[in-house]
Homo-oligomer: A and B are copies of this chain.
Amino acid sequence: MNAFNVDEHMQALGAQARQAAARMARADAATKNAALKALARRLGDAGPELAEANARDVERAQAAGLAAPMVDRLRLSSKVIDTLIQGCLQLAAMPDVIGEIIGMRQQPTGIRVGQMRVPIGVFGMIYESRPNVTIEAASLAIKSGNAAILRGGSEAIESNRALAQMVADALAEAGLPPEAVQLVQTTDREAVGRLIAMPQYVDVIIPRGGKGLIERISRDAKVPVIKHLDGNCHVFVDAGADLDMAQAIVDNAKTQKYSPCNAAEGLLVARSVAAEFLPKIGAVFAAKGVEMRCDEAASAILRAPGALPEGASVVPAQESDWFEEYLAAVISIKVVEGVDEAIAHINHYSSHHTDAIVTRDHMHAQRFLREVDSASVMVNASTRFADGFEFGLGAEIGISTDKFHARGPVGIEGLTSLKYVVLGNGELRR
């Protein structure tokens, strides 16, 4: 057997993807939806091969001593499979945005000019551990009329191969090219380097993973990257806010789950309500074991005798805390003068992901929405809503902290571009 050549493999995947992309772009809605339904059916009928492949990945991970939460991410439980099936069926039921024409208007010369939504072409997806991303990316590629090259984590390679085979079979069943969704067949890291540097074959890279991975890919990529760096999200409790609502929102934003990127990492409180609000929310945090890293003013309130129950953890914040994405039972807390200082603090320290204000003041709400330079800005809602499904996009391929092209949760539209269409009757340029 010949040695496996990574470069040749990636070139072949790229060329096949580019060819398949042209056919996917032309595919009609019914055909794409048939492929999605076939994929859902195949997932539902999945025989022992998938379960066995997944079991081998899980065993290998356990043998290698991976931490339990990491091993859990690998598991294709029947609940995970069910969610994937529902996702495929929901996408099949959504209207097709490809080919829609927007803004068609007649110009003074007589030509009519509008914009048609078309697929981007080929996207490369780089992700870690969770094999369900294989199906999420595949189904989004099918619905959006793109081709995709998927590079999953080495720890999930057997599960990913089994899932990718189902995708290929579903595509073929619907009469679409099976090469529209291809899995990189090697776990060699060199394959990532090739995938992000083939502008002739790949139009955009979507990495999902840790900040280190995404920074490395962004630095080395020769094509655009839909970047999701960190989520250092804030809630600002304004003067005059409904403090019960504020408590519920801050609690939800911080503690409903600690690991998501849209969980709050920083709490800002207007000085005029700090003395009343901080002990209320502090008691919640104390009860849930959330460490509070506080500036001097917040510390003074929270450390006052009787302010918090025994055992509450209030520690001084360092400058680095304001930048931190904890993804843990920790929150930074700062007292600010008002909406001006809150906006300035957020624009300086936040990661431009998601930030919220709790307020009753219409002018403050308007200013916060307009001036906070983040992908999602919210009034009187939990930052945990920053999510493609919650925003009604129907599906999510990632959350972009960039301003270019797609910003915030990225759904099908983020995988499309708009080209100008011009309809004339023989008009000439004068």
Interface residues of A (CB under 8 A from B): 22, 25-26, 99, 105, 107, 109, 111, 113, 116, 118, 120-121, 203-204, 224, 242, 245, 248-249, 252, 256, 347, 356, 369-371, 373-382, 384-386, 390-392, 403-405, 407-409, 417-429
Contact = CB atoms under 8 A, between A and B. Distances in A.
Contacts of A408: 419-420
Given A407-B420, A408-B419, 5 more contacts: A22-B371, A105-B392, A107-B391, A121-B403, A381-B427
A427 B113 contact: no
A113 B394 CA distance: 13
7 contacts: A256-B428, A378-B422, A379-B421, A385-B427, A391-B420, A404-B404, A405-B405
Contacts of A109: 385, 390
A229 B77 CA distance: 49
Nearest to A344: B22
A426 B245 contact: yes
A107 B392 contact: yes
Contacts of A380: 423-427
Given A111-B390, A403-B417, A405-B404, A422 B381 contact: yes
Contacts of A405: 404-405
Contacts of A347: 22
A381 B224 contact: no
Q: Chain A binding site: helix, strand, loop or mixed by DSSP? A: mixed
A373 B122 CA distance: 13
B423 A370 contact: no
Integer count of this chain's copies in the complex:
2
Nearest to A387: B429
B381 A111 contact: yes
A424 to B, nearest CB: 3
A319 to B, nearest CB: 18
A248 B26 contact: no
A407 B381 contact: no
A248 B424 CA distance: 13
B224 A377 contact: no
Contact of A26 (B99, B370, B422): B370
A378 B107 contact: no
Contacts of A425: 380-381
Given A404-B224, A429-B252, A421 B377 contact: yes
The 4 closest A-B pairs by CB, nearest first: A381-B424, A384-B429, A378-B422, A245-B426
Q: Which of A25, A26, A356, A427 lies at the interface centre, i.e. has the most chain B CB atoms within 10 A of its CB?
A: A427
B369 A421 contact: yes
A224 B428 CA distance: 35
